[in-house]
Amino acid sequence: MIEAKSLTRRYGPLLAVDGISFQVEPGTVLGFLGPNGAGKSTTMKMLTGFLAPSSGTAVIHGHDIRTDSLQARRQMGYLPEGAPLYGELSVERFLRFAAEVRGFRGTAVGQRVTAAADRLSLGEVMGQTIETLSKGFKRRVGLAQAILHDPPVLILDEPTDGLDPNQKHEVRRLIREMAADKIIIISTHILEEVDALCSRAMIIARGRLLADDTPTGLLARSRYHNAVTLVVDDLETAASRLGALPESREVEVRRGQLTIFPSSQGNLFEAVTRTIQAEGWQVDQLQLEAGRLDEVFRTVTDSAEAA
């Protein structure tokens, strides 16, 4: 379990992380969401022992990062932002270094390196110098280094940043595969990733924890949660007719789409479908919205800006 207790970090007068507290259980993929400069990376740097907190602390599987940093770091695999690597070394030499520094000796080194390389399909580039690799391969080398000792905690700072869609898909698959018994914390500003990957999401802005929920829970905060969007031939008539329903609170016409927002009573979707059938409208699209994460993100972070 990870327990962060009022983690705070100042850079001179700037308060980068402002008293963040949370607990994470194994089997969780936790996503840190937030605008650039929100304090996501700084929080990760404190968890991994790179930066000392100005105040507060965190406990990683029983090891306090302030008083027992070495043991705490042994529990973790870390992919720093941008996946920095020793570019002059070959992939194999670098991964051997990572294995040795993690305490493996003798034949165990080779086994660990091979296993991690297989997992990230690095076989063909093992002998290549890291700085000659493509961005996708570099990121995979960084991930291989992080998972090599099969740590119970993985902290990945923007693991899919700069990858092409296929590579993103691969990395997400890998994270999902490992998620069952580990604590995985990823940071991202790609909202779809939260939905695709995380079992829990935190929105961080200006160093503060603004929301801590499941992705579904976050979606439920959206104005669009349970709204109905449709494309219909006569938008004007449909808008006024559907807007008058007691189940509807508000309608919005945008780019040829009509969105009806639910009021607190009844089932809007049913009411809309009933009206469509009764009126005999020609409907091209009809959709019940789960909510829009980008809208939740904007609302939550904007309120932080205003505060």
- Closer by beta carbon to other proteins, 37 or else 87: 87
Which is nearest to 43 in space by CA: 73, 1, 5?
Answer: 5
Q: Among all chains, which residue has been given the structure tokens 């705490």?
A: 72
Binds other proteins by CB under 8 A, chosen from 40, 102, 139, 206 = 102
* Edge-to-edge order in the sheet of strand 63-64: 14-24, 2-11, 55-60, 63-64
Residue ranges of E strands in 104-176: 153-157
CB of 211 to other proteins, least distance (A): 27
The 10 Å Cβ neighbour count of residue 213 is 15
Amino acid at 301: T
CB of 303 to other proteins, least distance (A): 30
Binds other proteins by CB under 8 A, chosen from 29, 30, 58, 98 = 98
Interface size with other proteins, residues (CB under 8 A) = 30
Build a one-symbol-per-residue string for 32-71: x at contacts with other proteins by CB under 8 A, - elsewhere: -------------x--xxxx------------------x-
Q: Which of residues 10-29 bind other proteins (CB under 8 A)?
A: 11
- CA dist list (Å): 114 to 58, 118, 193, 200: 33, 6, 29, 32
Q: 66 is written with which tokens?
A: 């302030």
- Closer by beta carbon to other proteins, 128 or else 199: 128
- Closer by beta carbon to other proteins, 10 or else 249: 10
- Angle 169-74-113 (CA atoms, 0-180°, nearest 5)? 55
Binds other proteins by CB under 8 A, chosen from 26, 82, 152, 217 = 82
Which is nearest to 288 in space by CA: 199, 219, 192?
Answer: 219
CB of 133 to other proteins, least distance (A): 14
- Closer by beta carbon to other proteins, 11 or else 176: 11
Based on the shown chain and the rule CB under 8 A, indicate whether residue 137 belongs to the binding site for other proteins: no
Based on the shown chain and the rule CB under 8 A, indicate whether residue 93 belongs to the binding site for other proteins: yes
- Closer by beta carbon to other proteins, 50 or else 281: 50
Based on the shown chain and the rule CB under 8 A, indicate whether residue 76 belongs to the binding site for other proteins: yes
Q: 173 is written with which tokens?
A: 């698959």
Whether 39 contacts 204, CB under 8 Å: yes
- Closer by beta carbon to other proteins, 12 or else 165: 12
Amino acid at 214: T
Q: Which of residues 165-224 bind other proteins (CB under 8 A)?
A: none
The 10 Å Cβ neighbour count of residue 30 is 21
- Which residues are at the interface with other proteins (CB under 8 A)? 11, 45, 48-51, 70, 73-74, 76, 78, 80-82, 84-90, 93, 97-98, 100-103, 129, 145
